Structure 1
């Protein structure tokens, strides 16, 4: 697999003549930058943070999409071990039962259940949301984790969306909107969206979001993950503006050894062969889950932040603040994508400004 060149923005300075006013302005900017840097440093997770550092999750209810394998499974197991009630939402009931059996074998006191959902089918997403609204008192954490990667042939969802756009992004957009009332019943709700280092070579193709003109598997994957990252940031902005009380956090796993490649382009593809040849550089699924677990549970995890491994090219390494690509920070593009997604999915987030006391009740 070709690794992503994810270099931070370069800062340059030139010694040019200027007035005292310009020097004073420069000094003010420098002081502000230093202050901001210090603030970020205070919110940077300790590099060796692990699942063992999670605070108790007893009494909290967590929903994880795609929790039957890979990092989603590791998230579910770790959260169950920390005392959370865990709902695994995925497509295959048999794999769901297998996941529950494995978690209960490792964590005998685990409270874990399976709910079927096909994120590429918006009617399935809405049906899941309705079932949860009828059976859960609230939802404390939603982890938007499920994904497919680079299927060789372009596929369409039942709603007419390109399959990666539908599964990785649009399905989670609708799920979050539908579960917002349940999340707002929590005293401290979080939405964690799992992104990818692929965002650094991604772009939002507003002229062809569904790749009708020319399908390129990895470009479509990178777009879907960039869309998810933009969604996480925009969700925080809208929550702050509307008073939803949501802490929206993004995370990426680096590159972890999971089933994603085998079930996407395939191990016999060029990409699969490169992935197999380099896998000793990659993280285990358990290691890859750390950034998501931090985003979902740590008291210091900030809304609107992006966490992941900070080693070479962000493939692996110590946990920290991930590099945000410029495209993900484009506020106007994020608002445009949000509006388009509402139209494509027929889904609207509420515009109300304040939560009532009843909404906040446990």
Structure 2
């Protein structure tokens, strides 16, 4: 991959304290970007920023830690308001934060199935609230870090919280399908990418060995480059553009999902 200069760019990476998110933040900062590192707590985010400065010699002024627990939509709302206030021109939002669905059916304080909220709904709300700040000029975009497991999924429209039939793999896959469908929402220029199966906390869901997180991050970072032209709703498997699951490209599904998500985040949007 060619090394490109991002010194004029500001990028928010969610879930930047470990795994692919951490390596994405590192690679973006190495190319000169100002990186907003999101962590579940501000302490975790600041520790990640400090670690990047200590291990990579990066400019501490270009690494800004932000905290928000995505299992609490009020914290997502507060995060968005702070970003809009402090960084009114945001070039790229990388929706990367993800949790493996727990063994047992678990609801957040907002009443949503945990993986559906953390992996999709929180990013949906964050993206909608950041829409005024995301640069409408060349290169302004959203990059959703999805998963090839979206191909195994279906969105349970009558029971999106999976209260009746729960399996952690199906719940995780549903959240990734929703994130992939959301990339086709016409409100913002967005793509989704499966970065490959990497050594992260999600690896047990795949049941196979994973590659280095840094390798997966390169595929995310490439899509942050304004020189890489994107088509809204495009899906990438690593560095190759491929068709997502057929349902992810259906206008009807995009509209249905945005209607469902709007209802679920209504108090915070």
| TM superposition score category, shorter chain reference | over 0.9
Distance in 1, Cα, partners of 2:137 & 2:235: 22
Partner residue of 1:212?
Answer: 163
How far is the alpha carbon of 1:186 from its aligned partner?
5.8
What TM-score comes out, normalization by structure 1 length? 0.69
8 Å contact from structure 1 (residues 55, 82) kept in 2: yes
- Aligned twin of 1:322: 242
| Residue deviations 1:161-201 (CA, integer Å, cap 9, x gap) | 00011000000000001111111466541111111010110
SS in 2 for 1:183: coil
The offset of 1:347, in angstroms, is 6.8
Give, in whole Å, the separation in 1 of the partners of 2:128 and 2:256. 17
- In structure 1, the gaps of 5 or more residues are 1-49, 240-245, 262-270, 310-318, 350-362
Show the 5 A alignment for 1:1-362. 50=1, 53-105=2-54, 106-110=56-60, 111-184=62-135, 188-234=139-185, 238-239=186-187, 246-261=188-203, 271=204, 275=207, 278-279=208-209, 282-304=210-232, 305-309=234-238, 319-346=239-266
Distance, in Å, in 1 between the alignment partners of 2:157 and 2:240 is 31
Aligned equivalents of 1:331, 1:185: Cα separation in 2? 23
1:342/1:348 contact within 8 Å kept: no
Aligned equivalents of 1:115 and 1:227: distance in 2?
Answer: 25
Alpha-carbon contact 1:139-1:186 (below 8 Å) kept: no
Q: How many residues align?
A: 266
Is the 8 Å Cα contact of residues 60 and 140 (structure 1) preserved in structure 2?
A: yes
SS in 1 for 2:236: strand
Native 8 Å contact 1:61 1:140 kept in 2 = yes
Unaligned 5+ residue runs, structure 2? none
Report if aligned partners of 1:118, 1:125 keep a CA contact under 8 Å in 2.
yes
Q: Answer yes or no: is the 8 Å Cα contact 1:67–1:76 preserved in 2.
A: yes
Q: Residues 322 and 187 of structure 1: is their aligned pair in 2 closer, same or farther, counting only changes over 3 Å?
A: closer
Tell which structure's C-alpha radius of gyration is larger. Answer: 1
The change in CA–CA distance for 1:289 and 1:301 in structure 2 (over 3 A counts) is: farther
Larger displacement relative to structure 2 (335-344 or 178-187): 178-187
Deviations 1:218-249 (A, max 9, x none): 00110000000000012xxx23xxxxxx4311
1:96-145 deviations in Å (ceiling 9; x for gaps): 22211221120332510111111221110111111122212311110000
> Does the aligned pair in 2 maintain the 1:116–1:128 contact within 8 Å?
yes
Task: Identify the structure with the greater helix proportion.
Answer: 1
Whether the aligned pair in 1 keeps the contact of 2:92 and 2:134 (CA below 8 Å) is: yes
Structure 1 pair 347–62 and aligned structure 2 pair: CA distance change class (3 A): farther
Report deviation, 1:60. Answer: 0.9
Q: Report if aligned partners of 1:139, 1:183 keep a CA contact under 8 Å in 2.
A: yes
